[in-house]
Amino acid sequence: MSGETTDPVLRGLNAAIAENYDRVPYDPPASPGLDPAQVFALAAHYGYGRDPSAIDVLDLGCGTGAQLERVAGLTTGNLLGTDLSRSAYAQAVARTARFAPRCRVLCADFMDLDADALGQFDLIYHIGVLYVTPPAVQRRLLELIAGCLKPGGVAVISYYAGTVPLLMAGLHKVLRASVPPYLPTGEQVRLAKAQIQSILATLGKIGGDQRLMMGMLQQVLGTEETIFFHEMLNQSFGTLSTSALETGLGARGVHFLNWMQPAPFEKDAGARERSMKADAYAFAGGGYYYGVFCKTE
């Protein structure tokens, strides 16, 4: 067993992150835009299409199971969701019970999951998770994604990338330092938003070209409270680059195809070039992306 797997500090951090989802439940609706038919339509563009009505699906970090439930109604295949938050797990089980036994949910830390035991899947969802986990967990997650994809299978991974999210990550650090962790969550959010207002007021007085910074601050200020709490106050929150994901997954035969809302990479020769072009796009501002990766080798 590797040191990372047994590290008590990492285990404590993972438990604290998951417990935050028990304290402040996060229950977003499913995203029809991520339906298997849409994902495989994009993959087909690169020669990796598949009948979406009979696929096996893994949702790594399924939360309350809304996506799992939706997709269970769209495929006749087997589905598996995993999450460490006990309350999210319980909700996901209740939500998908009518699809049992072909749909199952596990309550486990990603560090305890093993690709061989999980099985092989045509489609993996990994939505809203990678950027709220520590680096050691991210390494494990990339191993799991690559290990659990069937040849020609596809993973949808969401992440923040680019310049504005990088500024956001810096802001989050400032906010975490200024908000006492022992306060009730609502009070933490209130204090953090007041701190953003104060930074905005100061920037207004400084003068000069502060448009990018002020735009980012306004955007963060407008973030819905639950997301604000989980992203702002999560000490592992960070950005990722498409090239870094291509490098981490590419070593295991899984390569970047495009974003779910495709950027025009068509003429670029290979996955590496596409991922570098994606970083260039994100550099101009950036945002929240759904990257589509395929086990092409």
Ligand X SMILES: C[S@@+](CC[C@H](N)C(=O)[O-])C[C@H]1O[C@@H](n2cnc3c(N)ncnc32)[C@H](O)[C@@H]1O
Q: Where do contacts with ligand X occur on this chain (CB under 6 A)?
A: 14, 17-18, 21, 26, 28, 61-63, 83-85, 88, 109-110, 127-129, 132-133, 137, 230
- Among 112, 48, 122, which Cα is nearest to 80's? 122
Residue 203 beta carbon to ligand X: minimum distance, rounded to whole angstroms: 29
Residue 209 or 224 having the CB closest to ligand X = 224
CB atoms under 10 Å from CB of 288, counted, come to 12
> 18 or 213, CB closer to ligand X?
18
Cβ closer to ligand X: 54 or 108?
108
Closest distance of CB 244 from ligand X, Å: 19
Q: Which of 159, 166, 171 is nearest to 284 (CA)?
A: 166
Q: Quickly list DSSP for 31-84.
A: -GGG-HHHHHHHHHTTT----GGG--EEEET-TTSHHHHHHHTT-SS-EEEEES
Phi/psi of residue 60, nearest 5 degrees? -85, 110
SS3 content of the chain, % helix, strand, coil (to 5): 55, 15, 30
Contact between 75 and 52 under an 8 Å Cβ cutoff? The reply is: yes
Give me the least distance between CB of 273 and ligand X, in Å please: 30
Min CB(164)–ligand X separation in Å: 19
Of the pair 127, 249, the CB lying nearest ligand X is at 127
Amino acid at 208: G
Q: Which is nearer to ligand X, 91 or 243 (CB)?
A: 91
Closest distance between ligand X and the C-beta of residue 249, in Å?
Answer: 18
